[in-house]
Amino acid sequence: MEWFTGLDSVWQALLASLFTCLMTALGASLVFFSKKINEKFLTGMIGGAAGIMIAASFFSLLLPAIEYESALPSWLVVTVGFLLGGGFIVCGDVVLSGVKKTKSAAGHKSALLYTAVTLHNIPEGMAVGVAFASAAAGEGALAVAAAMLAVGIGIQNFPEGACVAYPLKAQGFSTGKAFFLSVLSGMVEVVAAVFGALAAEKAAGLMPWTLSFSAGAMIAVVCSELIPDCFEKHKIVASAGVVLGFALMMILDLALG
């Protein structure tokens, strides 16, 4: 993997985000082969992804943000950035919830689901880009930690792609169009990842802000989407997935960092 670590952080972010988009496509492709998915399998995947993303938010995003030198106190920068990132997701959910109350038809619900997934993919992509930019700057987040962050996001994108494609097909979209729209929602992460890497790389002073913003947004996504979804039906499997996912990310970060 020396060729990958030798790449510029923007190229690393691009390739990593293409992987997360590919995972969305793989999840969406299930719509071609089956009418339903094994719920316990999906629960375990979502739980594992949640654990990885929680750990990555701390080890790959918040810790480097705290260690980064800034004109302002690090606790202030990290706290404000974290709240802004979390607030971005919370405000988006509030707006979408308000629209959902006024438009309850099944077709509108599918549209809202698609919008929500796309909205959440923006900070996820930014987190990947910023993590690789931080690793390149040598500010504590190694490339392996950034890669694991991308892996965690990719894992949760697999069921996410399926959860978007199936409702779209149920609303009358052709299988091919439902698949294409699902993949399109994942492409947002590619754009966001490249933007995040460029912003963090070109404006070094923004690094702690972008890192903490991404961490706050990631935690909000986990709490609003992944945790409720995976704990709804199979609590034990979900709990095991979260713990194992967090432990995996922690071991890789501490052992290789």
Q: What are the residue ranges spanned by the domains of the chain?
A: 13-30+37-256
What pLDDT is recorded for position 143? 73
**104 pLDDT more than 60:** no
pLDDT of 171 strictly over 90: no
168 three-state secondary structure: helix
pLDDT in tens, 189-206: 999 999 988 887 777 677
Burial of 135 (0-12, 13-18, 19+ CB in 10 A): buried
Q: Is the pLDDT of residue 103 over 80?
A: no
Phi-psi region of 112 (alpha: psi -120 to 50; beta: other; left: phi over 0): alpha
Q: Taking residues 63-72, what's their average pLDDT?
A: 81
Helix (H, G, I), strand (E, B) or coil at 140: coil
- The pLDDT-based confidence of 5 (bands split at 50, 70, 90) is confident
| pLDDT tens digits, 202-253 | 776 777 888 888 889 889 888 887 788 788 878 899 999 899 989 987 887 7
The burial of 236, by beta-carbon neighbours within 10 Å (0-12 exposed, 13-18 middle, 19 or more buried), is given as exposed
pLDDT at 25: 94
At which residue do the structure tokens 């030798």 appear?
6
Query: pLDDT value at position 140?
Result: 44
**22-33 per-position pLDDT tens digit:** 999 998 999 898
What is the residue-averaged pLDDT of the chain?
81
Q: Residue 141: what pLDDT? A: 44
